[in-house]
Amino acid sequence: MSGRTLLANRLRDELLEEITSSHLQPGTKLPTEGQLAKRFNVSRATVRDAVGALIEAGYVTRRRGSGSYVAERRRMPHGLDSTLSYLAMIESAGVRAGMHVLEAAFEECSKDDSPLQLGPRDTVLAVERVRTADDRPVIYSHDRIPARLLSTALDLRNLDPSLFALLNSSGHAADHATATLRAVASTSHSARVLGIRRGKPLLYIEEIDYERDGTPVMLSREWHVSEAFDVRVNRKADTRHEYRYAIPAYPSLAERPITSPPSTTA
């Protein structure tokens, strides 16, 4: 990697941090090439490369004769109470959805596939994908499906965009799922795929999908760009233990127990 490319990547990450931390609000005009070059002590060509990378990733737009502006970013509602297709979820927010399959191949299972309850020499369909919203990468995922559930004539070059639809057409529809969520820092690889800086916080979701009889049919590991989504969880009150830990309530002050102030002569 050349020195100029390294400087451009660093400048891109600096500007991206200012954008994603809301220091630079959507619609804000970026400083000129000359101003950025002076501020960061780099050449105009380096600034051009860095801003160009942000434009390509969808964080900045360029207006002819006016300059470069922080792109408007719509946060998409991300409901965790259903297994709605991510492409459908993105489109339902009024955003153009897209997907790129980085790799799809059959391979021998590993110890990381233990939630799928496979044998030691079983194979899985491994799919690595990126979902985009208005051409901006927002979800990077690894999906694993037991090969025995799929047709042997499956054409990996024309893979169904929805793995749920693929499972359904194979007679193994996903009926329910369990998911684990946690915050993680982006690695060099996930940062490169998602067009973000290394170490940026991501929402990591690990999900296991099951058939109605409880057979696991898919294991998914996903990294979500946190500022692209508003995560929503519908919760119910658990009234089974409502009174076990309740603090006693007193109808009036008159019935409240009186405690004496601590003695000042003790």
pLDDT in tens, 132-165: 988 889 899 999 999 999 988 888 988 888 898 8
Q: Look at residue 123 in the predicted model and tell me its pLDDT.
A: 96
Q: How many domains does the chain have?
A: 2
User: Looking at the structure, do residues 34 and 84 belong to the same domain, yes or no?
Assistant: no
Q: When comparing pLDDT for 232 and 251, which is higher?
A: 232
User: Looking at the structure, do residues 80 and 139 belong to the same domain, yes or no?
Assistant: yes
- Domain end position, chosen among 70, 105, 124: 70
Domain that holds residue 21: 3-70
Q: Is residue 190 part of a domain?
A: yes
Q: Write the burial class of residue 25 (CB in 10 Å: 0-12 exposed, 13-18 middle, 19+ buried).
A: exposed
Q: Is residue 262 part of a domain?
A: no
Q: Is residue 186 part of a domain?
A: yes
Q: 108-122, 138-152, 186-200, 239-253: which has the minimum mean pLDDT?
A: 239-253
Q: Look at residue 240 in the predicted model and tell me its pLDDT.
A: 63
Interstrand relation of 76-79 and 229-232 (parallel, antiparallel or unpaired): parallel
- Model's pTM, two decimal places? 0.65
Q: Look at residue 111 in the predicted model and tell me its pLDDT.
A: 93
Grade residue 188 by pLDDT with cuts at 50, 70 and 90.
Answer: very high
Q: Is residue 260 part of a domain?
A: no
CATH code at position 190: 3.40.1410.10
User: Looking at the structure, do residues 98 and 188 belong to the same domain, yes or no?
Assistant: yes
- Domain end position, chosen among 28, 45, 70: 70
User: Looking at the structure, do residues 54 and 179 belong to the same domain, yes or no?
Assistant: no
